[in-house]
Amino acid sequence: MEIFVTPLDVSRYICSFDGAARKAGIRFKMGEDFERYLEITTSIVGKSPTFPMFRPDCSRLEPGRAFWIIGEDRSGEVAHVQALRVDDLRATNLAEHLESLKACYADPKSQASSGSSCVCSASTARKITGAVVYQGDVWLRGDFRGQGLPRMFSSVAFGLAWAKWSPDFIYGLVPTWSIEKGVADLYGYLHKEAHGSILRLPDRGIEDDDWLVWLTRREVSHLIKHTMTENLSPIS
């Protein structure tokens, strides 16, 4: 059964978590200029390089199809980044999308280097179709960890994605340590499956075996509706 969520529900949901983050010392900014985003992320000490999924020299990141969120501390220094994009997978599925390298490159045949490959062994990925949102490039500065912020910034991202695209699925690709330490759970993802993306991009020094984590449209809708209807505090 479809869960009816109004624009007002979504607005209140986003504002509640944005307000909680502000109290914790983080102020969010949102944008669609990925040239600017890459400038910001490249200058962050301790953050791994932004993957091709969110590099404008690799992927098509047109306005209205992708956005980024920057979290600044009270002094205006960057303390958090993340990015989201939506892909039309109505004629295919997530496994095929990943394995074709179209998740990384607008034109894999001309852009991917020799030896580049991706294997998706997560069986559920072949059932993930439609409007599919990817959340990635997530980074949080060390002095803000352990304060419940992952739930805040992920909830803001989920709310904005729902408002902009009302996607069928939202997913992420996370390393094993994120699963073992429960970080993916803190983001709010309800499902996880190993070997979601065994990605090798030799020219970029990338060799990862990430878990697939995901939420369905109904689950995101329920999360928004439940939080607002039950008047729950946005932080536990």
- CATH number of the domain at 148, please: 3.40.630.30
Contact yes or no for 82/140 (Cβ under 8 A): no
Residue 167 domain-assigned?
Answer: yes
Contacting residues for 203 by C-beta, under 8 A, at least 6 apart: 113, 116
Residue 2 domain-assigned?
Answer: no
Residue 205 domain-assigned?
Answer: yes
Residue 30 domain-assigned?
Answer: yes
Rounded to two decimals, what is the model's pTM?
A: 0.94
Residue 72 belongs to domain spanning: 7-229
Residue 236 domain-assigned?
Answer: no
Domains: count for the chain:
1
Residue 102 domain-assigned?
Answer: yes
**DSSP percent split of the chain into helix, strand, coil, nearest 5:** 40, 30, 35
Residue 68 domain-assigned?
Answer: yes
100: three-class secondary structure by DSSP: coil
Q: In terms of C-beta density within 10 A (0-12 exposed, 13-18 middle, 19 or more buried), how is residue 220 classed?
A: buried
Length of the chain: 236
* pLDDT tens, the chain, 236 aa long: 667 888 899 999 999 999 999 999 999 999 999 999 999 999 999 999 999 999 999 999 999 999 999 999 999 999 999 999 999 999 999 999 999 999 999 999 999 999 999 999 999 999 999 999 999 999 999 999 988 899 999 999 999 999 999 999 999 999 999 999 998 899 999 999 999 999 999 999 999 999 999 999 999 999 998 887 665 544 44
Residue 1 domain-assigned?
Answer: no
Q: Which pair of structure tokens corresponds to residue 54?
A: 């969110």
Instruction: Spell out the alpha helix ranges (H) of the chain.
Output: 7-23, 34-42, 94-99, 108-111, 149-165, 176-180, 183-187, 217-229
Q: In terms of C-beta density within 10 A (0-12 exposed, 13-18 middle, 19 or more buried), how is residue 200 classed?
A: middle
